């Protein structure tokens, strides 16, 4: 037992001495006026994966080497230090600034991609604001346009698809929220925007259905003078919806809601759509007969 305790104490002492030595070397490098020594120590910390210490030294060297040829590689390492520390906002900024400052550099293409990739990594889940996703898409597309033969083009396109999927889900969820809170005009417009902005959306049929249902509920809750016009819009929305129904056979008696695929309309949607059409036509006939 005492041997084990002694061994643990010895290991702790070694760790403490190693940390103290590392800190001592770091502080010595920061205080040194020898630029080559500073750079050498910064590179050593970088190669060891000690990004915090490397970043501290390279940050100081950027100013000291400004205007010199070595400034380029220092800035390159400095950007990657921020990236490895997972500070993607700052890393993206430094990668982008690198391409502007050193457009002829052999690292310019790489840094342009990394700037876009940092914006991608900083993109939040679809339920949150998607400004970063839009920025990332723009940057990735600029990269593809500038370097169409790059081996990174396929990866960049995949990232764009992933980001657009987030935007699509965000747009659909926003439209659905309008529907749920009873803001039917906004719901119709928002679902329409989903269909326009994302022509191949996986929510295509749902969007057409909710345009139909929103039109119907808007008509039901309208003043008498606007009911007929809005019920007619509902009928029109039904035939547009019907046009995009999946070409599947709905088995009679199939359990409602069984189809869990978001991209497909199950029996419950189909039955409700037909019910909406019948009611809308009946309301139009009733309104016409009263006139």
- Provide the CA 247 distance to its chain's centre, in angstroms: 32
Residue-level pLDDT, tens digit, the chain, 291 residues: 545 555 455 444 444 434 444 567 787 877 787 889 999 999 999 999 999 999 999 999 999 998 899 999 999 999 999 999 999 999 999 999 999 999 999 999 999 999 999 999 999 999 899 999 999 999 999 999 999 999 999 999 999 999 999 999 999 999 999 999 999 999 999 999 999 999 999 999 899 999 999 999 999 999 999 999 999 999 999 999 888 765 433 333 344 444 444 444 555 678 899 999 999 999 999 988 886
pTM of the model: 0.77
C-alpha dihedral (218, 267, 201, 242), degrees to nearest 10: -60
pLDDT in the model for residue 253: 37
74: CB partners within 8 A, 6+ apart: 39, 42, 58, 61, 62, 65
CA angle 271, 255, 274 (to 5 degrees): 5
Instruction: Spell out the residues 6+ positions from residue 232 whose beta carbon is closer than 8 angstroms to its own.
Output: 280, 284
143 close to 113: Cβ distance less than 8 angstroms: yes
Residue corresponding to tokens 């919806």: 241
Tokens of 149: 């033969």
CB 187 within 8 A of CB 206: no
pLDDT of residue 4: 53
How far apart (Å, rounded) are the C-alpha atoms in residues 245 and 266?
10
pLDDT at 265: 52
Query: What are the angstrom distances between the C-alpha of 222 and each of 48, 102, 128, 217, 219?
Result: 70, 62, 33, 9, 5
CA dist 221 and 181 (Å) reads 14
Helix, strand or coil, per DSSP, at residue 50: coil
Going along the chain from its start, the domains and CATH numbers come out as 182-291 (1.25.40.10)
With H, G, I as helix, E, B as strand and everything else as coil, classify residue 104.
coil
Structure tokens at 89: 């906002």
Torsion, CA 114, CA 119, CA 122, CA 125, rounded to 10? -130
CB atoms within 10 A of CB 258: 10
Residue 246, token pair as written in the block: 């999946």
């Amino acid at each position: 037992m005492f041997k084990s305790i002694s061994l643990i104490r010895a290991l702790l002492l070694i760790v403490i001495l190693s940390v103290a030595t590392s800190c001592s070397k770091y502080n010595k490098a920061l205080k040194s006026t020898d630029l080559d020594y500073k750079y050498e120590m910064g590179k050593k910390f970088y190669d060891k994966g000690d990004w915090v210490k490397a970043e501290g030294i390279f940050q100081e060297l950027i100013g000291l080497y400004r205007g010199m040829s070595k400034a380029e590689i220092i800035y390159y390492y400095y950007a990657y230090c921020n990236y490895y520390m997972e500070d993607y906002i700052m890393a993206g900024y430094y990668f982008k600034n690198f391409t502007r400052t050193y457009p002829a550099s052999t690292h310019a293409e790489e840094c342009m991609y990394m700037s876009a990739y940092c914006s991608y990594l900083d993109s939040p889940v679809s339920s949150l604001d998607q400004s970063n996703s839009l920025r990332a898409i723009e940057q990735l597309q600029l990269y593809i346009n500038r370097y169409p033969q790059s081996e990174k083009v396929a990866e960049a396109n995949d990232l764009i698809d992933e980001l657009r999927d987030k935007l699509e889900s965000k747009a659909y969820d926003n439209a659905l929220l309008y529907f749920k809170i009873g803001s039917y005009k906004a719901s119709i417009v928002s679902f329409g925007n989903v269909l326009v902005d994302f022509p191949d959306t996986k929510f295509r049929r749902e969007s057409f259905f909710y345009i139909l249902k929103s039109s119907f509920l808007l008509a039901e809750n309208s003043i008498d003078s606007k009911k007929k016009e809005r019920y007619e819009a509902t009928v029109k929305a039904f035939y547009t919806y019907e046009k995009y129904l999946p070409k599947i056979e709905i088995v009679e008696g199939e359990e409602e809601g069984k189809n869990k695929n978001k991209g497909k309309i199950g029996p419950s949607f189909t039955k409700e759509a037909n019910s909406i059409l019948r009611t809308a036509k009946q309301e139009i006939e009733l309104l016409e007969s009263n006139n």
